[in-house]
């Protein structure tokens, strides 16, 4: 069968590592028709602001599988990274980062048998890039996490663990602090876990996960986590096993898969024939498994490990010792086809079943949603007591009581006895009088009263969703 793959060589060291990978893959005899496309620095320089030409997008839409080298955003050209553009355009919601010990690579963790895969949600969370300057001195970044996003990544993680015969899956969150956003991943994980009885589910708080990854890295098999947590722990993972020359990755969406190394274009090494192609090569190995070419994937994986075991080492691994060039390393791997590693236990891989999740925007619906108040954000130089008294007087004839004011999440009015340092963005929480429900017209009336004397900058309705509070309380609020 002929596979069609969009090939982006990329910038800096990109062409060297991608050509090495292509040569090794072709040597296995797998039939791939490469569609060579452009993206990155040269495209930006021609004036295309996205760094990704239409022909490349069309090729990806047609082929649905991409092998790419690193792309750089040259200073002074374009504002957005072409990498991020590709991930967002194709909604590649799962970022996969295998973390496995390599032979002959000296690290403080050598011999511990590290073999984990980190699965990071790749499109939601703080990385949606929705930011505001709320006052001249207070910045905000929205952390959006959806049930749909959680369901996609959790199901993907279980399917992935199953496809590689992994027996445990850790879900790493900060649900103890961010009960709704990070908590949604935990809740979704706990609800879906029973559908995968062959995989042992564990929830772990992300900071403890980082700590345990360093103390007992061998105990993790698969970790699923939110975008920001995943960004950090996947780099921690790369560090455990020896650095960027050895860190492959994949970005998977529904029907689209982009395989690329974690590293960038390392411009200082471009054209010098000294860098390690293993990270892109092992991304290519992941691609071969995605295409169902398990035998070729295993041949390359084992030949590469055998090559390292023979002491044929690229410079980043060899350090001060004798090292091999990128092209000689490539040829040595091909010459070692058929050899197997003495240390790396081969897994029994299966094709991953990318789960389908309902496409409708509102996959979770409530039976009831009752508005019981509103938080009004106010940009004010006043201190809490004065602001509170003024707001009470101003809003006395509305349908609301001022329940409290908080500053950066801590109640300051009425004083809860805390001593927070304060900034000029206040949250005034108004609840409907006598515990009644309220509506948007009454909220508009409240805002009109407030804006007579104060600058409100944002509102958030306080809702009971199916009888449960759809908002959190401030520190000190009862």
| Rounded-to-integer distance, Cα 117 and Cα 63, Å | 26
Smallest distance, ligand NAP to C-beta of residue 287, A: 15
30 vs 247 by CB, closer to ligand NAP: 247
Please report whether residue 307 would count as binding ligand NAP according to CB under 6 A. Answer: no
Footprint on residues 377-436 left by ligand NAP (CB under 6 A): none
The helix, strand and coil proportions of the chain, stated in percent and rounded to the nearest 5, come to 35, 25, 40
The residue count of the chain comes to: 478
Q: Which tokens is 100 given? A: 């496995």
Contact flag: residue 83 with ligand NAP (CB under 6 A): yes
Q: How far is the CB of 269 from ligand NAP (least distance, A)?
A: 7
Indicate whether 264 belongs to the interface with ligand NAP (CB under 6 A).
yes
Interface residue with ligand NAP, options 21, 222, 226, 265 (CB under 6 A):
265
> Which residue of 279, 354, 428, 462 would you call a contact of ligand NAP, by CB under 6 A?
279
Residue found by looking up tokens 């006043």 in the block: 382
Cα 377 to Cα 134: distance, rounded to the nearest angstrom: 9
Query: Concatenated DSSP letters for 339-404?
Result: ---SS-PPP------PPP---SS--S--S-EEEEEEEEEEE-SS-HHHHHHHHHHHTTTSSEEEEE
Q: Which residue is nearest to ligand NAP (CB)?
A: 264
Which of these ranges, 157-165, 275-283, 345-353, 394-402, lies near ligand NAP under the rule CB under 6 A? Answer: 275-283
Going by C-alpha positions, the residue among 149, 141, 160, 99 that lies closest to residue 122 is 149
244 contributes a contact to ligand NAP by CB under 6 A = yes
CA–CA dist 255, 302 (Å, integer): 28
DSSP state string for 271-310: TSS-S--HHHHHHHHHHHHHTT-HHHHHHHHHHHHHHHHT
When asked if residue 95 is in the footprint of ligand NAP (CB under 6 A), the reply is no
Pairing of strands 425-432, 369-379: antiparallel
Radius of gyration for the chain, computed over Cα atoms and rounded to the nearest angstrom: 26
How many residues of this chain bind ligand NAP (CB under 6 A)?
A: 18
Among 37, 71, 118, 224, indicate the residue that binds ligand NAP (CB under 6 A): 71
Which two tokens mark 430? Answer: 């108004």
Among 186, 187, 263, 290, binds ligand NAP (CB under 6 A): 263
Cα angle, residue 55 at apex, residues 52 and 61 outer, rounded to 5°:
90
Is 72 or 101 the residue whose CB approaches ligand NAP more closely? 72
Cβ at position 401, least distance to ligand NAP in Å = 52
Residue span binding ligand NAP (CB under 6 A) among the ranges 18-26, 64-72, 101-109, 175-183: 64-72
Binding residue (CB under 6 A) for ligand NAP from 103, 245, 248, 373 = 245
Residue closest to 248 by CA, chosen among 281, 279, 287, 286: 279
Does residue number 316 form part of the binding site for ligand NAP (CB under 6 A)? Answer: yes
Q: Whole-number minimum distance, CB 309 to ligand NAP, in Å?
A: 19
User: Omega into 333 within 30° of 0, i.e. cis?
Assistant: no
Which residues pair with residue 119 across a beta bridge?
96, 224
- Please select the residue that binds ligand NAP; options are 21, 24, 70, 170, rule is CB under 6 A: 70
Rounded to a whole number of angstroms, the minimum distance from the CB of residue 92 to ligand NAP is 12
Positions that interact with ligand NAP (CB under 6 A): 13, 17, 70-73, 83, 244-245, 260, 263-266, 275-276, 279, 316
């Amino acid at each position: 069968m002929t596979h069609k793959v969009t090939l982006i060589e990329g910038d800096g060291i990109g062409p060297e590592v991608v050509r090495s990978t292509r040569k090794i893959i072709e040597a296995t005899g797998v039939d791939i028709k490469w569609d060579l496309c452009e993206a990155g620095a040269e495209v930006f320089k021609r004036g295309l602001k996205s760094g990704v030409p239409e022909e490349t997008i069309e090729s990806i839409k047609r082929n649905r599988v991409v092998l790419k080298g690193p792309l750089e955003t040259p200073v002074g050209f374009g504002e957005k990274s072409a990498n991020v553009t590709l991930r967002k355009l194709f909604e590649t919601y799962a970022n996969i980062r295998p973390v496995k010990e390599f032979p002959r690579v000296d690290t403080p963790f050598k011999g511990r048998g590290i073999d984990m895969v980190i699965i990071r949600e790749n499109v939601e969370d703080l990385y949606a890039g929705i930011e505001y300057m709320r006052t001249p001195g207070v910045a905000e970044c929205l952390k959006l996490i959806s049930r749909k996003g959680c369901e996609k990544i959790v199901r993907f993680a279980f399917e992935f663990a199953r496809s590689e015969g992994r027996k445990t899956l850790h879900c790493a969150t900060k649900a103890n602090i961010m009960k709704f956003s990070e908590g949604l991943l935990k809740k979704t994980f706990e609800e879906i876990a029973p559908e995968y009885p062959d995989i042992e589910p564990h929830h772990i708080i992300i900071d403890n996960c980082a700590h345990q990854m360093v103390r007992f890295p061998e105990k993790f098999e698969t970790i699923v986590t939110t975008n920001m947590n995943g960004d950090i722990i996947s780099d921690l993972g790369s560090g455990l096993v020896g650095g960027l020359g050895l860190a492959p990755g994949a970005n998977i969406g529904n029907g689209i898969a982009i395989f690329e190394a974690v590293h960038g274009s390392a411009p200082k090494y471009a054209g010098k024939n000294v860098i390690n192609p293993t990270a892109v090569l092992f991304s290519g190995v992941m691609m071969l498994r995605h295409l169902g070419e398990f035998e070729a994937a295993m041949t390359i994986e084992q030949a590469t490990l055998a090559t390292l075991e023979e002491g044929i080492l690229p410079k980043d691994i060899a350090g001060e010792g004798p090292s091999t060039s990128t092209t000689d390393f490539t040829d040595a791997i091909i010459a070692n086809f058929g050899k197997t590693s003495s240390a790396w236990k081969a897994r029994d891989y299966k094709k991953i079943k990318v789960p389908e999740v309902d496409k409708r925007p509102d996959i979770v619906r409530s039976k009831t949603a009752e508005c019981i108040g509103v938080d009004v954000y106010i940009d004010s130089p006043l201190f809490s007591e004065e602001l509170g008294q003024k707001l009470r007087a101003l809003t006395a004839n509305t349908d609301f009581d001022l329940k409290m004011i908080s500053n950066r999440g801590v109640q300051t009015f009425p004083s809860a006895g805390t001593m927070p340092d304060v900034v000029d963005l206040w949250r005034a929480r108004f609840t409907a009088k006598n515990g009644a429900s309220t509506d948007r017209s009454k909220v508009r009336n409240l805002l009109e009263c407030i804006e007579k004397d104060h600058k409100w900058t944002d509102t958030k309705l306080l809702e009971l969703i199916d009888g449960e509070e759809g908002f959190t309380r401030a520190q000190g609020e009862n």
